[in-house]
Amino acid sequence: MDSEVDKPSHLSVILDLSPTQWYLSARATNPYPLTIGSFLSQLLAFLNAHIGTKNENTLAVFGAFPGKSVMLYTSTEALVDEPPPLDANSYPPFRMVDTTVTRQILRELDAIEPGDEPPCALVGALTKALCYINRITLPSTSSTNVAEGSTHLPDPRILILSVSPDLSSSYIPIMNAIFSAQKLKVTIDVCKIYGADTVFLQQAAHLTNGSYIYLERRDALLQYLIMSFLPPPLVRKVLTVPRQDKIDFRAACFCHKNIVDVGFVCSVCLSIFCQPVPVCSTCRTKFPIKALQRLKSACPSPAPAPPRPLANLNNAVPRTTEATNHSTPGLR
C-alpha cells in the first residue's frame, strides 16, 4: 500500500476561461464574488502544491476559450521559447508554471475579438487532455528515448474548473470523452466554480470515479482545491474526499439537443429521441407504425391537449421510465 501511495501522479487541469462568465462571477452582487485574477492566483498556488508534493509529479494545463482550446502549460516539454528570467527569491519550477500559464492566458484573452462570444471549447480541451495523457502514459514503441519520465504513470487525472453552463449540443462528444477516460483509467474531477450545476460534468465525474464539487463558499477556493483535489486517486482510498450526493442522469436528445426527462431509445444503436420517430436518424432503422402509435398514445402528455413546445418538456414531464418494447426493430 505504501509503495502504491508513494507513486508519482499526473494532473491535467482544464480551465474554463469564458470572459462573460468570469465577468458575471466577479459582480459585487454575488454572495461571494470571485474575480479571474483572484482565481488565477489561487489556482497557481494549487498547481505549485501539486508539483511540489513530489519531484516526479507531472502537470499539464489546458484552457477552454470561446470557440478555441489551447494547451497552456506542460511540465514534460517547453511550450515557450524564452524561459522566464531567473529570480533568486523563487523556486524555478514554480516560477516556470506561474509565468507560462499567466502569459499564455493573457495572450489568448487579448486575442479575443469583441462581439458575439461563441461557447467555450470545453470538449476540445477535454479531448486534448485525454490525447496528452494517452501519449505520456503509452509512449510509442518507435520513439527511441523512452525516458524514465514517460514510463507508465499511475492514476492520471483531469480536473475541470468550470464556470459555463451545460452546452447541450456537446452531450455526445462529452459522453465519448467519458468513455475514452474510462478506458484510459483517467479520473475526471470537476469543481463547479460559478453558475448552476452542469449535468454532463456531474456524469463525467460519477462515471470515472472522480468527485464533483459545487463551490458554495467561493472565497475558499484554494481550500477546496487543496483538500479535495490535491490527493491523487490512490491516496483518496485512505482519505475521505467529498463527492456529490445526487447526480442528474438526464441525457440530451439527439434530434434537438434538449435535455429530456423521458426519452425514446433506438433499439438498434441506442440513440435517444425526445419523441417517437418513424426512422432513426443515426442508423436509419425503420420502426413499425404500430409500435409508434402505441408509444405515442403512451406518451406522458395528455392526448387531447395540443402538442407542447419541446422546451417545456424539461419541467413539465415527471421523471419516469418508459415501458419497454422488445420487438425488433422498434423503439424501447
Q: Give the interface with Zn ion as residue ranges (CB under 5 A).
A: 253, 255-256, 266, 268-269, 271, 274, 280, 282-283, 285
Alpha helix (H) ranges present in 229-288? Answer: none
Q: Cα–chain-centroid distance for residue 191?
A: 9
Q: Which amino acid is at 41?
A: S
| Distance set, CA 108 to CA 65, 123, 129 (Å) | 8, 18, 18
C-beta closer to Zn ion: residue 158 or 274: 274
- For 264, half-sphere exposure in the C-beta direction (CA atoms, 13 angstrom radius) is 22
Q: How far is the CB of 274 from Zn ion (least distance, A)?
A: 3
Q: Which is nearer to Zn ion, 68 or 257 (CB)?
A: 257
Closest CA to 12 of 155, 194, 151: 155
Q: Which is nearer to Zn ion, 163 or 280 (CB)?
A: 280
Residue 228 or 271 having the CB closest to Zn ion: 271
Neighbours of 211 (CB within 10 A): 20
Q: Cα angle vertex 21, ends 18, 100, to 5°?
A: 40
Is the Cβ of residue 190 or residue 253 nearer to Zn ion in the bound state?
253
- Report the C-alpha gap between 27 and 117 in whole angstroms: 19
Minimum distance, C-beta of residue 256 to Zn ion, in the bound complex (Å): 3
Whole-Å CA distances, 8 to 30, 46, 149, 317:
39, 17, 10, 48
Please say which residue, 30 or 314, places its beta carbon nearer to Zn ion: 314
CA distances from 192 to 16, 52, 132, 133, 160 (A): 10, 25, 23, 23, 8
Residue 209's region, left for phi above 0, alpha for psi from -120 to 50, else beta, is: left
Beta bridge partners of 160: 14, 190
Q: Which is nearer to Zn ion, 160 or 277 (CB)?
A: 277
Please state the closest distance from residue 11 (CB atom) to Zn ion, in A.
37
Q: What radius of gyration, in Å, describes the C-alpha atoms of the chain?
A: 23
Cα gap 207→183, rounded to integer Å? 11
Using the minimum distance from each CB to Zn ion, give the nearer residue, 223 or 312.
312
Q: Are 259 and 311 in contact (CB under 8 A)?
A: no
Q: Looking at beta carbons only, is 109 or 255 nearer to Zn ion?
A: 255
Q: How far is the CB of 280 from Zn ion (least distance, A)?
A: 3
Which residues are 212's β-sheet partners? 190
